[in-house]
Structures are given as C-alpha cells and as structure tokens.
Amino acid sequence: MSKATRLKVDLSLGVTAPRGFRAGAAAVGVKKLTEKPDVAVLACVVPAQAAAVFTQNKVVAAPVIVSRMHLAKNRTAMRGVAANSGNANACTGKQGLADARQMAARAAAAIGCKTEQVMVASTGVIGRLMPMDKVCVGVERSCAALGCGREADSAFARAIMTTDTRPKQAGVRIKVRGRTVTVAGATKGVGMIAPNMATTLGFLTTDAPVAAAVLDKMLRRAADATFNCLTVDGHTSTNDTLLILASGLAMEGAAARPIAEKSAEGKTLAEAVLAVCDSLARQIAADAEGGTKVIEIRVTGAKSDDEARRAAAAIANSPLVKTAIAGGDPNWGRVLAAAGRSGVRFRPELVELRLGKVRVVRDGAVCRYEEASARRAVTAAEVEIELDLHAGEHEAVIWTCDLTAEYVKINSEYHT
C-alpha cells in the first residue's frame, strides 16, 4: 500500500462528483434472488481522456477484450462505461464478445456516441452466457436514470457489487490554477483478489484537464502502489479492470491547457489519483470475503523493492498465517516459514520480526516477550506484522485479511 498522503479523502464523493459525469443503475435480475441494482452506466457529457489497466490472467473475459480494443481506438474521446454484476461474461466464446459489444452499443445509442467510445466491465459467475434480454433492459434503464449526486453515486457503487457487503467509493478535491479539481471513484471486490496490474473492478473520474498519455502513467503508478499491494486469496480474476476518465471541465479558456506530468500541478493530480486508489483498495481489504481483520504485512531491509514485495506477498497469501490470525494465535513461526519459501535472498540469522509493537524475533531467534501482548496484537481489528530482513534498504507493504470458515462457505456456494 502507498504511504499516507497529505490529501483528505472524502468517502461521500463518488463517480459523479467531478464535473461532466453522470451515472445510472437498474435492478433487472442478472443477480439471482436479489432486488439490488446489477447493471450500471457511467457517462461523460463530453469526450473524455481515458486510461485503464486490466487483468494479467491469461484467461481473459470478453468485456476486457472489448474494452482494450475500444480504449486503443478512443483513449482521447471515451464517453462512458456499461457495467454489470452477477455474470462475468468470461469463457463464453464468440457469443460473449458479441454480448459485450452489444452492451457498449446500447449504452452508446443512449449517450449519443459511437459504440467504440464505450468500455464494458462485468463481474460475477464465470462460464455462463449473459442474459442479454435482462442486460439490455438494464442498460437502457440505467441510461434513462443518468444523473449526478449522492443518489447516483450510491446506485452505481451498489450495482457493481457481488459478494461485497457494502459499496465502496472515495474522492479528493484539490486546487489547480485557482480552480477546484475533483478525483473520485468507486470499486468492488472482496474475493478472487491478488496483486497483478489491476485487481477487481475500479472506476475513477476526474474533471482535470489532462492528456490520456499522462493519465495512463498516473493510473499505473497509483495502481502499482495500491491495488497491486492488495491480496485476499492470491487469485487474479479474469475480469480485473481499473479505469479512469477525465472530462477536463474543471477549467475553461486558457486555464484548460493540459496539466504537464512533471509540473507541480501534475504531481498534485497524481497524488490525488493515488489517494483515491489507496482508499478504495483499503476498503476492499476491510470488506474481504469472510474476513474479520485487516492485516498489514510490512517487509523492510530487502535487497530490492521486488524482493520486499515477494516476501510480503508470500506471507500475506499463506493460509497458515491467515488462519492463525483468524484464531488470534500469535504463531509467528508461520510468518518466517512463508518468507523463507518466497525465494528472496536474506540470512535467517539476521531477521527481526514484530507483531504490532511486540518484537518476537531478533537475530533470527525467538526473544523474550509477553505472550499476552503478542496475542492482543493479532486479535485487533487491524493487525500489523513487520519483518526486517536486514539484507538491504528496500521495503514493501501488502494488505490482506484473515482466512475464516465464512470464506470457505461463500466460495463453496458461489456458483450455485
């Protein structure tokens, strides 16, 4: 996860907080046995600059394929996104591609733009054809309901949820050239999450005047420091998408010139994108499937950033570590064992390990500590584990959650 920024994040701000954006949602029964919204559309009133990162899984869902193609053609003139939950439209062949394109076409017709100016995002069960009769109605109803404000933001955030227990959104307001610029977004995801490009579905918007190429760099850096430092169960989805649209409507006239990447304004905007991504990723960790605790794994003293991240990820993805914390058991030996099999270079006789503020290992061996204090450290709602390898000057942080019986229950019944 990224280090804290100076910017204040407002959880009441959603995708329509920046100027020029509208959102709508509808409940049409894509998700069975629920009356919650499951189709949504996010639209920009002007052609928007756009950037996105997608799953690195070799098994790629149709919406990702279509969105990549549309983005390649129209990254400087994107008009919106059509999204749904309840069905991933993955492993659905040519029909799945046709269905994803039809979703974009229906939204484009209502927005008043070309099909290629709309991206598509889906989440849910893999291997089932989309119920297009319902989805098309949902897209049309969502477009008819397009609006801005808290109600529209909430509807959009709820429509993309699957096993999430609550909607997730965040926003930041900054000053650029004497004007207020907003960056905001919504995300979903509580399971099938591991760091690899994007993780889950995430939608960011801003009214800053910024070129697509610069926006792309900002998004990738922010994703790498936030979403890519998050793991729930070590699984990268077929549908992972994190995108951002920029309307540029915060400025007019000469002030509307594009923000330069390396300028002070560019750095402030990049920090705002980072802050929103950081908040959204943390909200995912706090709502992980079956999770009861948020766990921060910090590895310091590594030979490189990559090795620090690999060691932290090995610990974060260890079922033994996660189940120990679920039970409030300060079984620190599992942490060292996970780091030891990560392939990272270090000398075991030099390592130091802390559970919260309690140092349990020094110079590679157990040291004197109070067992009750260590147990309190791993029974807290937010658990901190810090491993110093004493092998270099690099560090990394990975956020995860505990592994409980509820996670098994949710995922054993997900398909049915």
Q: Would you name the residues annotated as active-site residues?
A: 199
- Rg of the chain over CA atoms, in angstroms? 22
219-245 CB burial, b ≥16 within 10 A, e <16: bbebbbbbbbbbbbbbbbbbbbbbbbb
d(CA 353, CA 367): 10
* Whether 61 contacts 96, CB under 8 Å: yes
Diameter of the chain measured on Cα atoms? 69
E strands, 235-318, in order: 241-246, 294-302
Distances (CA, A) of 196 to 216, 309, 311, 356, 399: 16, 12, 15, 27, 14
| DSSP string over 82-144 | EEEEEE---S-HHHHHHHHHHHHHHHHHHHTS-GGGEEEEEEEESS----HHHHHHHHHHHHH
- Would you give the end-to-end CA distance of the chain in angstroms? 34
Distances (CA, A) of 164 to 25, 212, 284, 324, 399: 17, 31, 9, 24, 17
At position 382, the amino acid (one-letter code) is: E
* Those residues with Cβ within 8 angstroms of residue 94's Cβ, 6 or more apart along the chain or in another chain: none
For residues 148, 109, 60 and 188, what is the CA-based torsion angle, rounded to 10 degrees? 10
Residue (of 83, 100, 312) closest to 200 by Cα position: 83
Distance of CA 263 to the CA centre of its chain: 27
d(CA 280, CA 273): 11
Instruction: State the burial class of residue 181 (Cβ atoms within 10 Å of its Cβ: 0-12, 13-18, 19+).
Output: buried
| Tokens describing residue 151 | 């109600």
3-class DSSP state of 174: strand
